[in-house]
Structure 1
Amino acid sequence: MTKVAVIGAGSWGTALAMVLADNDVDVKIWARRKEQIDEINEKHTNSKYLPDVVLSERIVGYENLATTVKGVDIVLLVVPTKAIRETVQEMLKELKQPVTVIHASKGIEPGTHKRISEMIEEEFQDSELLTNVVVLSGPSHAEEVSQRQPTTVTVSSKSSEASELAQDLFINQHFRVYTNPDLVGVEIGGALKNTIALVCGLTNGLGMGDNTKAAIMTRGLAEMARIGVKLGANPLTFAGLSGLGDLIVTCTSVHSRNFRAGLMIGQGKSLDEVLNSMGMVVEGIRTTKAAHELAKIEKVDMPITSALYAVLFEGLHPEQATERLMGRVKKHEVEQLNIDLE
């Protein structure tokens, strides 16, 4: 039987552990806080992240990383982007056997502009302990997955066998899993939709309505596709679950941290106030910085991302950012997509 360790016991890691447990997989789940692990093991709950959800007894919590990864075949890595390298480095000290790493995090690293699979491969490069890296992405709020509401996601890897392994591991009647060979597109789509969700929340906070949200989502999707294609992605990926699908769910749902953060910024709160009040990581903040840098390097036009960057890091007022976007030189929509479908 496949043995799985889930590294990261937040809402998403816990929800995915529940999917695995429903598929009769015995799951080890790791967190740093002893009180959280005690709650998982004694009460079968993780109330800070998924209140009112009862966990399977197949999910066993550990605070010792060496014990967590001992003898497992697969590591499911579900930590914030900023913690990926540190967590992998800690894990490497304890691993004794090769593993396939499935990651379910969404972001791009500022400075290096690496995707998460690239970060993982880079940290494993001096060892022989990495079999494959797989990304799991798509429109999937942890709250709804934990309630077994119908959800569809995509898995992708450089190895088709690894993708199919992940598909078989997770798929069930509530959680449908597709494979996609476009690793670049799946990761870029999952990361950049958070930036667009921040902008949708921000315009909502300014009192703007559905017309504005539809414009931001549509033009935001064009930005995601432009930079993705420049980096080698298949443009059709952005019309799928990890592109359009994830964009819709993140830009329109009360479950979205990025939308809620943008909403507060639009209502006049500072970035520091927002981050302090959220209590959880808002991946879109960091991704906006990385995407803005990447757009400059690759010479890709990303006006929505650039406007948000100016609001978050340069002190531009949200209303001025909106005026800047609406006052841009007139364009032809199809030409602006700038995507070669051949």
Structure 2
Amino acid sequence: LTAVLEASELIFVALPSSALRSVLSPHVERLSGKMLVSLTKGIEAQSFKLMSQILEEIVPQARIGVLSGPNLAREIAEHALTATVVASEDEDLCQQVQAALHGRTFRVYASNDRFGVELGGALKNVYAIIAGMAVALDMGENTKSMLITRALAEMTRFAVSQGANPMTFLGLAGVGDLIVTCSSPKSRNYQVGFALGQGLSLEEAVTRLGEVAEGVNTLKVLKVKAQEVQVYMPLVAGLHAILFEGRTLSQVIEALMRAEPKTDVDFISITGFN
């Protein structure tokens, strides 16, 4: 690892959020001045920091970017047609990543909304768990469509409160990633939700997966942060109630459907009806 880091100018960081600090901290000097691009779609539990923010903290002299989008690893490995987004305030970094990754079956778009792209990748994991549960319980196409579209509104509302550009969530790193993660059995977080819908406990579902499902950790910290910044996130609150507060699915569904009706797309509303 030491030799690779010293010889590389562009480094892609694909570590679980819980391991980022411990793995990279011993290599600060080797990473200084390098381009570091995070592929991790998670949030640090203790600080609610995104991976790019942690990279900035560990290696303040590095050039930082993120890569996110509807990118199921298995399909990329199989050379299925795929697109992604590299996001950074550093335009040259974006161009370097595009040059390195763009190919016959893989297209790379650029954005300067680093936090928006990164939040999209992290937040959608929570909703993929909900989508997997809905499919396992055979809730129907109307329900799945409602869940995905309300999830988009909910995650965008939160991201905008943190300074993200709402338009980012209409692109690959927002609705694109949300759709594929909430629709595909290849998604790890979807698989956890499906197992939960089959009646397994959270511990059993995660054990069956045998891999890291960032959505479970993100759910815990997102619930706390949403309350702190007073952002309305009923789907997040509902899933948290089922997994960690002893509520049943039927209780949560009843509460959601009885809640006061809201406007549809309130995060970009200019009508004054928010």
Note if contact 1:104-1:136 (Cα within 8 Å) is conserved in structure 2.
yes
What one-letter code is carried by the residue in structure 2 that aligns with 1:87?
A: V
Contact map agreement 1:134 1:166 (CA 8 A) in 2: no
1:81-122: CA deviations, max 9, x gaps?
1111112213327x2763110111101122311111001111
Given candidates 60, 67, 86, the residue that maps to 1:155 is 86
Note the 1:261-272 alignment, pairs <5 A: 261-272=192-203
Aligned AA for 2:149? T
AA in 1 matched with 2:185? V
Return the match for 2:39 from 96, 104, 126: 104
Deviations 1:43-97 (A, max 9, x none): xxxxxxxxxxxxxxxxxxxxxx22332321121111111111112213327x276
Higher mean C-alpha displacement, 79-88 vs 240-249: 79-88
Distance in 1 separating the partners of 2:123 and 2:32: 34
**Root mean square deviation, CA, Å:** 1.7
| Alpha-carbon distance in 1 for matches of 2:19, 2:269 | 35
The answer to whether structure 1 residue 87 and structure 2 residue 18 are counterparts is no
Q: Secondary structure at the match of 1:338?
A: helix
- TM, length-normalised to structure 1: 0.76
State the secondary structure of the residue aligned to 2:11.
strand
Tell me: higher relative CO, structure 1 or 2? Use CA pairs within 8 A at least 6 residues apart.
2
Q: Provide the C-alpha distance between the structure 1 equivalents of 2:32 and 2:8, rounded to a whole number of angstroms.
A: 8
Larger radius of gyration: 1
CA distance in 2, matches of 1:96, 1:144: 30
Q: Tell me the amino acid that sits aligned with residue 112 of structure 1.
A: S
Q: Which runs of 5+ in 2 are unaligned?
A: none
Partner of 2:105: 174
Residue 86 of structure 1 aligns with an amino acid whose one-letter code is S
User: What is the match of residue 246 of structure 1?
Assistant: 177
- Distance in 1, matches of 2:83 and 2:9, equals 24
Partner in structure 2 of residue 113 of structure 1:
48
- The alpha carbon displacement at 1:318 in A equals 2.3
Q: Does 1:227 align with 2:158?
A: yes
Runs (4+) of structure 1 exceeding 6 A deviation are: none
Q: Name the aligned partner's letter for residue 90 of structure 1.
A: P
- Residues 185 and 340 of structure 1: is their aligned pair in 2 closer, same or farther, counting only changes over 3 Å? farther
TM value normalised by structure 2: 0.94
Q: Identify the residue that residue 14 of structure 2 maps to in structure 1.
A: 78
Structure 1's 339 and 110: CA in aligned 2 closer, same or farther, altered over 3 A?
farther
**Structure with the higher fraction of residues in helix conformation:** 2
Contact map agreement 2:160 2:267 (CA 8 A) in 1: no
SS of the counterpart of 2:35? strand
Contact 2:42–2:122 (CA under 8 A) maintained in structure 1: yes
> Match for residue 199 of structure 1?
130
- Identify the residue that residue 59 of structure 1 maps to in structure 2: none
